Amino acid sequence: MVGLTEIGLTAAMGALATIAGAFEDAESDVGSQSNPNSQVQLAPQMMNFHRYFNKAISGEPVSYMMYGAVAGTVTWVMMTKFGLPFLAAAAIGVGVNALIHMAFSTTAHLGRIASAAEFGHPIYLDVVLSHLGPIAGFGGIATFAIISLAYLQWSALKHPFPLPLLAALWGVTVGAIGSSTGDVHYGAERLYQHYPFGGGVPVAAHGNITRKAETGIRNSMDSVYFCAKFGCPLTGLCFGLVVFFSTWAGLFGQWGAVIAMLLVTLGCLIVSNRIEKWARENYGTYEDVELDEICDAV
Amino acid sequence: MGEGAKLNARGFGLAVPLLAVSFAMAAVNWTAVSKLWATLILITYGSVLVNVGVHYVPVGGAPAAMATATGVGTGTTQLAAGSGLTGLITAAAMSDKPFSVILANGAAGAAVMMAITMLVGNLIYVYGVGCPPCSAKVDRDPLTGWDQEPYVTPGTEGHGIPTVSFVSGIFGGLLGGTGGAMTYFALYKVLGMSAALAGVLAMGFFYANAVLASYNIGGTIEGYHDPKFTRVPRAAACSIAFGIVASIIAYVMSTYV
C-alpha cells in the first residue's frame, strides 16, 4: 500500500528535479551550450561578431551525465570511505565537479572562438572571466539537486542502482530535457529577437543572431535574464514532472505503475493536441507573408 | 495524403507486432533456456527494438531548436537516450519482479518521459516562439487530418510537434524502453551481474544502438510518416549484428572474467 512518507519523498524528488531542470537550462543559456550553439558558432562566418560565451563541451545529456557521475562518485567516496554525512559529501562532490566544469568551459570557449580568428573575430577575455562564475554556479546548483534526488531514491526508496549511476542516468535525462525544451526558447526566440515574434527562423536568417542588448552589446548573461522568465521554469517543470510521475507511479505496485504512467502519457497527448488546435485557431496561417518580410531585420 | 497514409499504416504495422512479440516473449521462462541462447536472443532483440524505436522519435536536431524543422529540438541519440534511460530507471526499480513487469515498466517509463518532454516542447513552441506545431513532410496530419502547409513559416521545414509526431514519439518511447529493459533483464537476471554493472552495460548498449539509428536517420526525422522511416530495415540489420557481438562479449565477461 502507498504510504504518505513515500509520496512525500517522491514529491521532494520532483521539487529537487524542478530546481535541477531550471538551473540546467540557465547554465546552458549562459554558456550557449546546446543546439542553438550552432548559430553562435556560425555568426562570425556571417561577419556577425558577438560577445556571447560559446562553449559546446558535448551534447547536454552527455555533459550532464559526466557532471552527475563525477559529483556522484566523489560524494559516494566521501560518504563510504570517509564517513561524511550526505550534505557535506555532496558539497565536496559538487565543488570538485565545478572545477572540472570550469576547466572544460574555458577550453571549449577559447577553442571555438579562436577557430573564428580567420574571420577576424577577437577573443574577449572579460567575457571568459565574467561568465565562468555563473556557469559554475548554475551548473553547481543543478548538479547538487540531481545528486540529492539520486540520494533520496537510493537511500529512502531503495532503488537497486547505486547513487553515482542514478545521478549519471538522471543527468542524461535532465540534459535531454533541457536541450529539447528550454533551449528552443533560447534558440528560436532570444537569439533572433530582432525578428518579428510568431514564426520559426528561416534558413536564410541563420547566423544573423541578435547582438545588441537593451543597452550596449549583448552578452550571454543577458540571455539568462530573458530565458529565466519562461524557458528555464518550463524546463524545470518538465524534469520535475518526469521524475515525479516515473517515481510516484512505482508506488502503485508492479502493474499499477504501468497503468499510471500510460494514463499520464495519454493525458499529455490530449493536452498537446488541444494546444495545437488552439495555436492553429488563434495564430492563423502564413499565406500572406513573403519570405523577405520575415528575413529583413526590423 | 496517399503516401502519408501508406507510411502511417506501415509504421503502425511495425510497432504493434514488435511490442506484441516482446510481450509474447515475456510469457516464456527464459532462465530455463541455455544462458547463452537467452542472452543472445534478449540482447539482440532488445537492440533491434531500441534502434527501431529511435526511428519513431520525432527529432529535428539543431534546426528544430531554431524552429526551422519539425520535431523535438535536440539530437536523435540524446532524446532517445534520455527517454530510454528513464525507462531503465523505472525498469530497475522492479528488478526483483517477473520479466513482463520489468519490460512493461521500462516501456511506460520511457513513454512518460517522451510524452512530458514533447508536451512542454510544444508549450514553448506555441507560447514562447509563437508558431503552431506543423509538419512540412505531409500535406495533412495522417491522424487528425488537419492541413499543415499553410501553417509552416516560409523558409522553414515546419516546427513544433504535431499530433502524428507526438503519437510516433510515444511509440518510440515504448519500443526504446522495452529494448533497454530487455537488455537490462538479460544482464541482471540471466547472466547474474550486479544491478550497477548491468545498468552501466545496458546504458552502453542503448547508446550504441541509438548512435547506429542516428547515422541511419541523418539528422532529422518527423516520425513514422516521414519518408526516411523506410530506412528502418537497414537499421534492424545493423542492430542484429551489434546485438550478437554485444551479447557474446557480455556472456564471456560474466562467465570467464
For chain B, what is the domain count? Answer: 1
The Cβ-side half-sphere exposure at B1, using a 13 Å CA radius, reads 6
Could you tell me which residues are beta bridge partners of residue A289? none
Residue A285 within a domain: no
pLDDT, position B254: 86
> Which conformational region is residue A253 in: left (phi greater than 0), alpha (psi within -120 to 50 degrees), or beta?
left
Kindly state whether residue A248 falls inside one of the protein's structural domains.
no
> In this complex, is the C-beta atom of B46 within 8 Å of any C-beta atom belonging to chain A?
no
Tens of pLDDT, residue by residue over B93-108, are: 998 888 889 999 999 9
User: Is the pLDDT confidence value at B5 over 70?
Assistant: no
B179 contact A CB<8A: no
The reply to whether A249 touches chain B by the CB within 8 Å rule is yes
The number of C-alpha atoms within 13 Å of A195 and in the hemisphere containing its C-beta is 28
Q: Residue A17's pLDDT is what? A: 96
Segments forming the whole domain that contains residue B110: 2-25+33-256
Q: What is the pLDDT of residue B26?
A: 65
Among B124, B164, B206, the strongest candidate for a mutation testing the A interface, having the largest count of A CBs within 10 A, is B124
Q: Which residues of A touch B93 (CB under 8 A)?
A: 157, 159-160, 247, 250
> Taking the model in full, what pTM does it have?
0.93
Scan for cell 538522471, then name that residue: A170
Count of the separate structural domains present in chain A: 1
Answer whether B154 sits within 8 Å of A261, measured CB to CB. Answer: no
- CB-CB under 8 Å, B118 with A268: yes
Res B255 pLDDT > 90: no
CA dihedral B236, B237, B243, B245 (to 10 degrees): -160
Residue A217, chain B, CB below 8 Å: the answer is no
Interchain contact, A273 vs B66, CB within 8 Å: no
Q: Is A298 exposed, middle or buried (0-12, 13-18, 19+ CB in 10 A)?
A: exposed
In whole angstroms, give the CA distance from residue A69 to residue A163: 9
Residue A249 lies in a domain: no
Cβ within 8 Å of residue B87, ≥6 positions away: B105, B106, B107, B108, B109, B110, B111, B113, B173, B176, B177, B178, B180, B181
Q: Exposure pattern of B198-230 as b/e (b: 16+ CB <10 Å)? A: bbbbbbebbbbbbbbbbebbebbbbbbbbebbe
What pLDDT, on the 0 to 100 scale, is given for residue B164? 93
pLDDT score of B3 more than 80: no
B31 pLDDT exceeds 60?
Answer: no
Residue A34 inside a domain? The answer is: yes
How do residues A132-172 score in pLDDT, each as one tens digit? Answer: 999 999 999 999 999 999 999 999 999 999 999 999 999 99
**pLDDT of A289:** 62
How many residues belong to chain B? 257
Check if B196 contacts A (Cβ < 8 Å). Answer: yes
DSSP A217: B
pLDDT digit string, tens, across residues B184-237: 999 998 898 999 999 999 999 999 999 999 999 988 899 998 888 988 888 889
Q: Is A156 on the interface with B (CB under 8 A)?
A: no
Domain assignment present for residue A132? The answer is: yes
Rounded Cα gap, residues A1 and A6, in angstroms: 10
DSSP codes joined into one string, B153-199: PTTSBEES--HHHHHHHHHHHHHHHHHHHHHHHIIIIIS---HHHHH
pLDDT in tens, A87-141: 999 999 999 999 999 999 999 999 999 999 999 999 999 999 999 999 999 999 9
- Tell me, yes or no, if A60 comes closer than 8 A to chain B by beta carbon: yes
In this prediction, the residues of chain A whose per-residue pLDDT falls under 70 are 1-2, 288-298
- At a CB cut-off of 8 Å and minimum separation 6, what does B52 contact? B14, B18, B175, B213, B232, B235, B236, B239
CB contact at 8 A, A138 and A225: no
Look at A200 and B161 and tell me if their CB atoms are within 8 Å: no
Each residue's pLDDT tens digit, B113-158 = 999 999 999 999 999 999 999 998 899 998 999 999 899 988 899 9
Chains A and B form CB pairs within 8 A to the count of 292
Q: Tell me: pLDDT of B251 over 60.
A: yes
User: What local confidence, expressed as pLDDT, does residue B7 receive?
Assistant: 65
Residue A95 placed within a domain: yes
Does residue A66 lie within any of the structural domains? yes
Looking up cell 550552432 gives: A38
Side chain identity, residue A3: G
Q: What type of residue sits at position A32? A: S
Report yes or no on A298 lying in a domain: no
CB contact under 8 A, B133 and A276: yes
Residue of A58, A268, A274, A294 to mutate, interface with B, max B Cβ within 10 Å: A268
Enclosing domain of residue A147: 4-237
Q: Classify the complex by whether its ipTM is higher than 0.90, answering yes or no.
A: yes
- Best of B94, B102, B116 to disrupt the A interface (most A CBs within 10 Å) is B116
User: With bands split at pLDDT 50, 70 and 90, how would you rate the model's confidence at B54?
Assistant: very high
Q: Which amino acid is at B183?
A: T
Q: What is the pLDDT of residue B116?
A: 96
